[in-house]
Amino acid sequence: MISFPTQVDRKKRFHQAIAFWIARIISYSILLILFFILFFILKRGIGVINWEFLTAMPSDGMTKGGILPAIVGTLYLVLMSMVIAFPVGVLSGIYVNEYAKEGAIKQFVKMMTNNLAGVPSIVFGLFGMALFVNRLGFGASILAGSLTLALLALPLIIRTTEESLKAVDDTFRHASYALGAGKLRTIRKVVLPIAFPNIITGLILGIGRVSGETAPILFTVAAYFLPKLPHSVFDQAMALPYHLYVISTSGTNIQASRPIAYGTAVILILIVLGMNLLANFVRSHYSRKVKMK
């Protein structure tokens, strides 16, 4: 019988412990940074948040009053861009993964989707202005802004849909075909329900991305100062990220606007958080419906 040197074991264990600790410290420090940012913003912004801040129009050159139009504008933009991007993105993902034959066209579509995901958001903004605002004549409006934001979120939703569908085991598809189900029915009744909780992740990511973007709405919808709520999709609107940008860089009195800027940031974070929670709830609801366990 060979006797293995005991030092080797000890050394192995030591190396392992070090590796774990490094990984642990790194992940904790990321959390720490996140908490620090949140704390910093909350500490400076929480003071200005009250009922009036949430429900009043900005006043006195945006140094006083509330941010209601920006909240409403952002909610409209997120909602409408997702209403546009989600079905289009999911259908595209289904096409790419389930219908498109392996080959040049599929590769091209996938490559273009990836490229689209890498395009800087200001370029989307310019494109949206050229196409939606000018060419199609929507003017600077919620419609034009939502369409631009939808384009921005589209690659994200297509990719997650594609990945979620790819993760569905082929044995489920085969079992369905073997029972005489066609392709469409198999996708609708078997594949999509299994993939849906993961597809919702795409929606969550899309919401997060869209609600915080400034550049795409800059030329397509955002108003510098508009103390009334939009009445139709052809109206301009204020939006939280752009409002934040305006009162921190080009307001009438930047110093006096500072607390409002932080308050706006807090509300923006809360909205994103709230939408993520909602999407998570939907996700777990569908997970329960799919009886994987």
Which residues of this chain interact with other proteins, rule CB under 8 A? 102, 169, 171-172, 174-182, 185, 189-190, 193-194, 290-293
**Taking the complex as a whole, how short is the minimal distance between the CB of residue 190 and other proteins, in angstroms?**
6
Minimum Å gap between C-beta 292 and other proteins is 5
CB nearer to other proteins: give 171 or 232: 171
191 vs 246, which CB is nearer to other proteins?
A: 191
DSSP-derived secondary structure letter, 222 = B
- Spatial distance between the Cα atoms of 251 and 249, rounded to a whole number of angstroms: 6
Given a contact cutoff of 8 angstroms between Cβ atoms, the answer to whether 69 and 228 are in contact is yes
- Residue position matching structure tokens 């000890």: 10
Specify the residue, 6 or 102, whose C-beta has the smaller distance to other proteins: 102
The minimum distance between CB 64 and other proteins, in angstroms, equals: 55
What's the closest the beta carbon of residue 170 comes to other proteins, in angstroms? 9
Q: What are phi and psi of 65, to 5 degrees?
A: 80, -160
Q: Least separation, in Å, of the C-beta of 171 and other proteins?
A: 4
Hunting for tokens 């209601």 — which residue is that? 68
Q: Which amino acid is at 170?
A: D
- Minimum CB distance to other proteins smaller for 131 or for 194: 194
Q: Whose Cβ is closer to other proteins: residue 190's or residue 275's?
A: 190
The two tokens of residue 191 are 């594949």
Q: Are 279 and 203 in contact (CB under 8 A)?
A: yes
Q: Which is nearer to other proteins, 47 or 182 (CB)?
A: 182
Residue 68 near residue 50, CB atoms below 8 Å:
no
Q: Which DSSP symbol is given to 101?
A: P
What minimum distance in Å lies between the beta carbon of 285 and other proteins?
Answer: 15
Q: Which two tokens stand for residue 195?
A: 């993939």
Q: Is 5 helix (H, G, I), strand (E, B) or coil?
A: coil
Say which residues have a Cβ less than 8 Å from residue 276's Cβ, sequence separation at least 6.
204, 207, 208
